[in-house]
């Protein structure tokens, strides 16, 4: 498990961009954390790393699922507004190819594919964010970040 401290939206965006370099077709990423912590900013970084213009990436809070074409097809799912976990079934069926990023995965427990990455964002001191990355199975590798 890796832990990073993000001091800005740009830091969070760049972590997403770094993660995108390690993602492969079929990956599922769970992104958890409270409202306003930067989950969508992280997804924008992943999308940018895939070659998607970050201005095109919007939170799918009301649509539940948005898809973007880049190096891989990127499906961005937000389960915050679903009422029952089983509502995730149809959304998952629409996102079978490419890479699936799920915000609020705890709302779809039991109806989502197993993740290859779990990411937890939380508020830290002075407006900073703590971001935990866990690769499953953990023995495979950890998030590698370029220091350039």
The total number of residues written for the chain in this structure: 148
What's the farthest any 2 CA atoms get from each other in the chain? 44
**Dihedral (C-alpha) 64, 48, 124, 29: value to the nearest 10 degrees?**
50
Instruction: Give CA–CA dist 123/33, Å, rounded.
Output: 9
pLDDT along the chain (148 residues), means of 10: 93 95 94 95 95 76 85 93 90 89 95 94 94 76 58
| DSSP state at residue 51 | T
List beta partners, residue 137.
none
One of 1.10.540.10, 3.10.520.10, 3.30.1330.120, 3.40.50.300 is the CATH number of 2-135, namely: 3.40.50.300
pTM of the entire predicted model: 0.88
Closest to 3 measured CA to CA, from 141, 132, 136: 132
Instruction: Give CA–CA dist 91/86, Å, rounded.
Output: 10
Report the pLDDT value the prediction gives residue 56, as an integer from 0 to 100.
74
Q: Express the helix, strand and coil content of the chain in percent, nearest 5 each.
A: 30, 25, 45
Beta strand 129-135 with 117-123 is: antiparallel
């Amino acid at each position: 498990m890796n832990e990073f401290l993000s001091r800005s939206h740009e830091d969070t965006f760049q972590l997403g961009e770094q993660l995108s370099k390690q993602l492969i077709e079929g990956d599922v990423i769970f992104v958890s954390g409270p409202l306003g912590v930067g989950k969508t900013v992280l997804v924008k970084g992943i999308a940018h790393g895939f070659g998607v213009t970050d201005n095109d990436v919007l939170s799918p809070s009301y649509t539940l699922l948005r898809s973007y074409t880049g190096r891989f097809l990127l499906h961005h799912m937000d389960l915050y507004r679903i009422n029952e976990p089983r509502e995730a079934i149809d959304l998952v069926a629409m996102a079978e190819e490419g890479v699936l990023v799920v915000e609020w995965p705890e709302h779809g427990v039991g109806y989502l594919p197993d993740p290859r990455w779990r990411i937890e964002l939380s508020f830290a001191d002075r407006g900073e964010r703590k971001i935990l990355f866990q690769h499953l199975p953990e023995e495979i590798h950890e998030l590698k970040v370029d220091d350039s």
